[in-house]
Structure 1
Amino acid sequence: MALTLGAAGPRPVRAAPYGTRTSPPPQPSPQAGSSYGGGVSETLDAPAGLPAPVSRRILVVDDDPTVAEVVSGYLQRAGYTVDHAADGRAALEQAAARRPDLVVLDLMLPEIDGLEVCRRLRAEPFSHAVPIVMLTAKGDEHDRILGLELGADDYVTKPFSPRELVLRIQSVLRRAAGAPAPADEVPEFAAGDLRVDPAARRAWRGPRELMLTLREFDLLSFLLAHPGTAFGREELMRRVWGWEFGDLSTVTVHVRRLREKIEDDPAAPRLITTVWGVGYRFDPSDAPGRALETAVPDA
């Protein structure tokens, strides 16, 4: 069964044969050979080959019952526990009652739209660090950029294959958990009163802990680890987030949000500076206090 999810109704495509599967969870029930929205088709068996995740809870927020059912089915087969909310108000209530490890958030929702849900989740202490993957229409660049500015970590445009979404989710969750490494391989960096602990995934400006999203933290850690080096947006996408392609405005948005959280004057940044014709650079010499150093634990 080939599936692609999007805004348009079903159209027939060539169905792929089912593989062998024992005791499957409840399956979505579109007819064999269905496709939603056109585009690249995907076999229903694809998630069977994905690595089994540690048990994580994912909140799928979408008012389209077909999209919600198919996405939930793929996520369940990949090993996740899935909750579903059909509107923005229900999404906020469910997230508060049972904190998800990740939210899949459609932007076009009744009652409270996806952008406002994203903003409210980022404003709450219990959910400010929960990764958010947006589902957006292909042409909605303005909403996509606004969603990133409000703190979304990633996005998938419709029409999309469910397997692509599962892979994106797995990538975001791996990065959110942090790669395990010995303490001496993950040094703590400091520049003036700015301090980052990559192992604990925490950052501070003076005594104040910074409330950073997943992508903001990754970007700040990378720049602090390479002081004085200018990086282009394409290189940052590849080296920080592992993306070989994507919307370069994603980098611009995250740099702007990061400046708002660490700069004294975000309109005249001194720490993360723009190198015209190249990209961005972290300048430790402009950090108040001392220059960049690797923090040494107290004896």
Structure 2
Amino acid sequence: MAKIMVVDDSEDLVDSIAIYLEKEGNKIVPVYRGEEAISLAPIEKPDLIILDVNLPGLDGFEVARRLRSHRLTAGIPIIFLTVRSELKDRLRGLSYGALDYITKPFSMEDLGRRVEEALRKVRETKRKVRWRRARR
């Protein structure tokens, strides 16, 4: 079971994503503002963050930048999920270390597949780190 923080100002969208991803066995941490994501991420320690760009207050790019600059949250994988589809926005999101950039509208099946792939990468990285530590 993975813990996934979903950050979007649309409660309906967060609820829909939560219902879908919880069916896959994940625990969802719903968040509706960027500032809240920054304060909760070090406490909740999610395995993955799904992050909208268009948020009230701090936008998703600034949230990602701040998460990357904090030692407790720097390694949390991020998937951007946003209506902003221009190449410059995609490149900006990926420059903050996002694993993926999905544009709205989207299908839940596609989101679920990408989330599972991101979590697989996280598990593989953790396994490699444990293996390297054990060899020391």
Do these two structures clear the TM 0.5 threshold for a shared fold by scoring above it?
Answer: yes
SS in 1 for 2:57: coil
Larger proportion of helix: 2
* 1:125-136 matched pairs, under 5 angstroms: 125-136=71-82
Deviations 1:254-279, CA, capped at 9 Å, x for gaps: xxxxxxxxxxxxxxxxxxxxxxxxxx
- Please tell me whether the aligned partners of residues 9 and 33 of structure 2 are also in contact (alpha carbons under 8 angstroms): yes
Q: Return the letter of the residue paired with 1:75.
A: L
* 1:102-141 matched pairs, under 5 angstroms: 102-137=48-83, 139-141=85-87
Q: Return the letter of the residue paired with 2:44.
A: R
1:138 and 1:165 map into 2 onto residues whose CA distance is 16
What is residue 96 of structure 1 aligned with on the other side? 42
What is residue 60 of structure 1 aligned with on the other side? 6
**Structure 2 residue runs without a partner (length 5+):** none
- Please tell me whether the aligned partners of residues 52 and 82 of structure 2 are also in contact (alpha carbons under 8 angstroms): yes
What is residue 28 of structure 2 aligned with on the other side? 82
Percent identical residues: 36
How many residues were matched structurally? 132
Matched, 1:147 2:93: yes
* 1:161-176 matched pairs, under 5 angstroms: 161-176=107-122
1:154 and 1:139 map into 2 onto residues whose CA distance is 13
The structure showing larger relative contact order (alpha-carbon pairs under 8 Å, at least 6 residues apart) is 2
What is residue 262 of structure 1 aligned with on the other side? none
- Please tell me whether the aligned partners of residues 138 and 159 of structure 1 are also in contact (alpha carbons under 8 angstroms): no
**Larger radius of gyration, structure 1 or 2?**
1
- Please tell me whether the aligned partners of residues 136 and 144 of structure 1 are also in contact (alpha carbons under 8 angstroms): no
Q: Return the letter of the residue paired with 2:113.
A: L
SS in 1 for 2:85: coil
- Please tell me whether the aligned partners of residues 53 and 84 of structure 2 are also in contact (alpha carbons under 8 angstroms): no
- Please tell me whether the aligned partners of residues 6 and 51 of structure 2 are also in contact (alpha carbons under 8 angstroms): yes
TM-score after normalising by structure 2:
0.89
**1:95 Cα deviation (Å)?**
0.6
1:68–1:174 CA distance, 2 compared to 1 (3 A) = same
- Please tell me whether the aligned partners of residues 7 and 51 of structure 2 are also in contact (alpha carbons under 8 angstroms): yes
- Please tell me whether the aligned partners of residues 6 and 30 of structure 2 are also in contact (alpha carbons under 8 angstroms): yes
